[in-house]
């Protein structure tokens, strides 16, 4: 039987429920739902992505975050298809609609180019449709952003994409898009968020406007695993620093996208149901903010 996963309420999206599993889903403004933990496949070769996606799905993940720029949409999609067809791996009998695949537009330019780039991604992944398609960044200026968003809307209307969203959008970019009165609002904004870069102005704006925050680099790209506060709290909760950071993200109502090429780490990063971070400890972690940027930082671009 296919599993649709537990759907949390919007209230829980803000406060965080006590229990999470890899099948936990959050409701979106579009009316559809999204798994709350995704495997990120950035900086993986095609071969690594194919292997990591299979390990992740076999251990219970139901979502994969790829992009045109990662150059592994084909191998990620192929691994999903092979997993679904392999009864020895797909022991729950999951179907295509139970697995959530994300890709992103490499660059904003004009409507025609964006529209054909989206079609190309759908073809490349071989999954029939893409669950979530994002503008990867706000770069390119207002005209390119709005034209590219129109292309995402039309891809949703044409059934190539289920849900549209944005990534690396600052508050001003979201306000610009909302002010343009689009046919569809972005259901998610994928931004860098972890205890060392909390970006509360963007996350607060998103949560007030019904836009779910996807937290990229949720492990702070492994740059702060030895931070004394992280080590202390990991010891307290008998978890790894990575599990602590994934759990922090979930309890804030975000969607963390931890990346790993290691089978053991992929499995461990998704096992976050055996502890709950207390409110004071969440506040301690919130206080670690140092605006640590692990990759690019387009949120202020014009
Ligand atoms: N929209 C955007 O602009 C954007 C930008 C960046 C990332 N993303 C998305 O977000 C995902 C995650 O971000 P990210 O890959 O930059 O960083 P991340 O998930 O925060 O960290 C990944 C790093 O942590 C290591 N790691 C994973 N699990 C670990 C564990 N349990 N213990 C110790 N180290 C561990 C990984 O090494 P190993 O692989 O060797 O385990 C890798 O070096 C990406 O894959 C991508 O899907 C989106």
For residue 249, the domain's CATH number is 3.20.20.100
pLDDT of residue 10 exceeding 60 = no
* Burial track 174-185 (b if 16+ CB lie within 10 A, e otherwise): bebbeeeeeebb
State the residue range of the domain holding 166: 10-291
pLDDT in tens, 189-228: 999 999 999 999 999 999 999 999 999 999 999 999 999 9
Distance CA 35, CA 20 (A): 11
Higher pLDDT: 195 or 19? It is: 195
Average pLDDT over residues 119-146: 98
Catalytic residue among 38, 136, 173, 194: 136
pLDDT value at residue 3: 39
Q: Would residue 302 count as lying in a domain?
A: no
Pocket of ligand 1, candidates 38, 258, 297: which has the most ligand atoms within 8 Å of its Cβ, to mutate? Answer: 258
Distance CA 154, CA 158 (A): 6
For the question of residue 136 being annotated catalytic, the response is: yes
Q: Would residue 259 count as lying in a domain?
A: yes
Q: Would residue 95 count as lying in a domain?
A: yes
Q: Would residue 5 count as lying in a domain?
A: no
For the question of residue 237 being annotated catalytic, the response is: no
Provide the percentage of residues in the chain whose pLDDT is more than 70. 94
pLDDT value at residue 21: 87
Six-digit token string for 126: 């071989």
pLDDT value at residue 17: 46
pLDDT value at residue 18: 61
With left for phi above 0 and alpha for psi between -120 and 50, is residue 26 left, alpha or beta?
Answer: beta
The helix or strand, by DSSP H or E, that contains position 263, with its residue range, turns out to be helix 263-269
pLDDT in tens, 256-268: 999 999 999 999 9
Q: Would residue 301 count as lying in a domain?
A: no
Give the chain's mean pLDDT: 94
30 pLDDT band (50/70/90 cuts)?
confident
pLDDT in tens, 227-284: 999 999 999 999 999 999 999 999 999 999 999 999 999 999 999 999 999 999 999 9
Q: Would residue 220 count as lying in a domain?
A: yes
What is the number of domains present in the chain?
Answer: 1
Pocket of ligand 1, candidates 37, 42, 191: which has the most ligand atoms within 8 Å of its Cβ, to mutate? Answer: 42
């Amino acid at each position: 039987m296919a599993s649709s996963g537990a759907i949390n309420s919007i209230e829980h999206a803000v406060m965080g429920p006590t229990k999470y599993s890899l099948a936990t889903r959050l409701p979106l403004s579009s009316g559809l739902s999204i798994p709350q933990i995704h495997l990120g496949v950035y900086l993986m070769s095609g071969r690594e992505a194919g292997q990591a996606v299979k390990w992740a799905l076999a251990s219970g993940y139901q979502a994969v975050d790829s992009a045109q720029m990662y150059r592994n949409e084909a191998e990620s999609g192929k691994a999903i298809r092979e997993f679904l067809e392999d009864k020895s791996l797909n022991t729950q009998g999951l179907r295509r609609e139970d697995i959530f695949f994300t890709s992103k537009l490499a660059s904003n330019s004009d409507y025609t180019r964006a529209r054909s780039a989206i079609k190309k991604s759908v073809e490349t992944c071989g999954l029939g449709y893409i669950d979530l398609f994002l503008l990867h960044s706000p770069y390119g200026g207002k005209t390119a952003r709005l034209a590219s968003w129109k292309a995402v809307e039309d891809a949703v209307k044409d059934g190539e994409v289920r849900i549209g969203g944005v990534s690396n959008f600052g508050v001003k970019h979201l306000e610009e898009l909302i002010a343009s009165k689009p046919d569809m609002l972005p259901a998610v904004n994928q931004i860098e968020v972890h205890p060392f870069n909390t970006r509360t102005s963007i996350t607060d704006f998103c949560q007030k406007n019904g836009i779910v925050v996807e937290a990229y680099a949720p492990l702070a790209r492994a740059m702060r695993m030895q931070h004394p506060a992280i080590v202390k709290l990991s010891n307290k909760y008998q978890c790894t620093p990575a599990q602590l950071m994934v759990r922090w993200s979930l309890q804030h109502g975000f969607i963390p996208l931890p990346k790993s090429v290691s089978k053991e780490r992929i499995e461990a990063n998704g096992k976050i149901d055996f502890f709950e971070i207390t409110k004071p400890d969440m506040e301690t972690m919130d206080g670690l903010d140092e605006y640590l940027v692990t990759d690019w930082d387009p949120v202020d671009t014009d």
